[in-house]
Amino acid sequence: MIRTNITLILVYFLGIIFIPALAQEVVIELGPDEIALNETFSVKVTISNDKIKSYNEFPDIAGFQKQGISQSSSMNVINGQVSSTNSIIQYYKPLRKGEVTLGPFAIKINGQDYSSSGKKITVVDARAPQRQSNVFDPFDDMFGRSREEPEFIEIEDEAFFASSVDKTEVYVGEGFNVSLAFYMSETNQAPFQFYEPGKQLDGILKKMKPSNAWEENFNITNIQPEKVTFNGKNWIKYKVYEATFFPFSEGEITLPPISWEMIKYKVAKNPSFFGSNRLEDFKTFYSSAKSIKVKPLPPHPLKNEVSVGTYQLRENITQFEANTGEGFTYNFGISGEGNINSISAPKTNQIHKLNTFDPNVRQQVNRGMGRISGIKEFNYYLTVNEPGEIKLADHFEWIYFDPVLSKYDTLRPKAIINVTGESKVNQAISNQRLGGIYDLIEVESNKLSYERYKYYFSIFINLLLAGSVILLAVLIMRKGNG
């Protein structure tokens, strides 16, 4: 008898290793037609001779609340033939009495859709629980397993969810970084899994994003673990969102408390080799609110137009010698940390010595290390009309506000161009001016200016009317005499 049992065990475990390729079969089982308020309804999906590698959401049932998901597996050896089944079960708790219809639905298992026609479910009053008989398993006694349903318990966790900001006070136009992350200590024993992070973020950002600020999203597509240390303890950080905001106006920006739901598994109190040793459950974490004060920029004629950040000039020019009337290119690049998108072209001082044309613009924005940086380049085509030394600093300047130094600053070129040849200033002027009346268009007022002639015009009209009356009277008198 002992030898027979040993042989059976060997066949069983060898069968686990050498499972022949059998046809995959998926069955969807629905719970009973009638359940009580204190009972649960279930939708069970069983797959034969394969593992459940992926599945989508189970259907929602009106009048029921999803309770959790459990998984189980089993294996049979019959005449040396090994077969396996894997199941996943969604539990539902009824919320009220009555008749409910579970309509037709489909579930995607391992990338393939499987459908069910649904059914009608009747929910009745709560009733006393009845002990269900267990099906005898010949391996129970062999492995010392109990035939009772497993008991699941919740393990205390060392985890939290937090929103973080790198600054609590900024100037208008100055960026502040916001991140959302889930933290677990390295010693945490509770099993967690992310639950629909993309869908949760969509709802969170609709409430969290300030309406009066420009957003530069870091576009996190993969949630990666990162080891961090604070308060003398090691933590694993899972960042789910990061962005830098640049406020448009002064005041206060408030980030509300944020809720984040995680799948937290309950574990079997007495784990066994067979069946499921954990039960899917949910836990919601909450972050605290954050406030950022936005200060106005100091007084300046261009305070509403300048960019805010820490910037440097990166000019690029390869031609320092030119002839009058000939063109060359000059690149005015602004690099640094700030809202690169808001950088405007430098101010150009137009004089007859130098002609500029609208620049070609190129920009590059870098998002990383909790900051927004990059470069914006303005590529000009220039022509010089008079010989001599041309300092580009006399013709280009870019004013900005440095929030670190709390002052305005100006970027000016250092390049100097040596120009040779005959003066072509007059030619440049004639090409640019239309002359005569057109020169007055820009300086003359477009308002009607008849006020100074109003008095004389009124006298003239009155005299004309009086003369008309006298003439009419003379004509009438002559006609009467005749």
Total of domains in the chain: 3
Give the Cα separation of 129 and 137 in Å (integer): 24
pLDDT value at position 4?
Answer: 38
pLDDT value at position 33?
Answer: 92
Residue at 224 is within a domain: yes
- Say yes or no: 409 and 312 in one domain: yes
Give the Cα separation of 110 and 52 in Å (integer): 6
Would you give per-residue pLDDT tens digits along the chain (482 residues)? Answer: 434 343 433 334 334 333 344 446 889 999 999 999 888 899 999 888 787 777 888 898 988 888 777 766 666 545 456 567 788 888 888 888 899 999 999 988 888 889 999 999 999 988 765 544 444 444 444 444 444 566 788 888 999 999 999 999 999 999 999 999 999 998 888 899 999 898 999 999 988 999 899 999 998 888 889 999 988 899 999 999 999 999 999 999 999 999 999 999 888 777 665 556 778 889 999 999 999 999 999 999 999 999 999 999 999 998 888 888 888 899 999 999 999 999 999 998 865 667 888 899 999 999 988 899 999 999 999 888 888 888 999 999 999 999 999 999 999 999 999 988 887 666 655 555 444 444 444 545 555 444 555 666 778 788 888 888 888 888 888 776 65
**By the 8 A CB rule, do 301 and 172 touch?**
no
- Say yes or no: 54 and 163 in one domain: no
pTM > 0.85: yes or no: no
Residue spans of beta strands (DSSP E) within 269-306: 278-286, 290-295
Give the Cα separation of 12 and 96 in Å (integer): 46
The domain of 91 spans: 26-125
Phi, psi (degrees; rounded to nearest 5) at 231? 55, 30
Q: Alpha-carbon torsion 468, 474, 477, 482, what sign?
A: negative
Do the bridges between strand 354-356 and strand 371-384 make them parallel or antiparallel, or are there none, so unpaired? antiparallel
- Say yes or no: 326 and 376 in one domain: yes
**By the 8 A CB rule, do 392 and 346 touch?**
no
Specify the CATH number for the domain of residue 107: 2.60.40
**By the 8 A CB rule, do 278 and 266 touch?**
yes
Residue at 132 is within a domain: no
pLDDT value at position 438?
Answer: 45
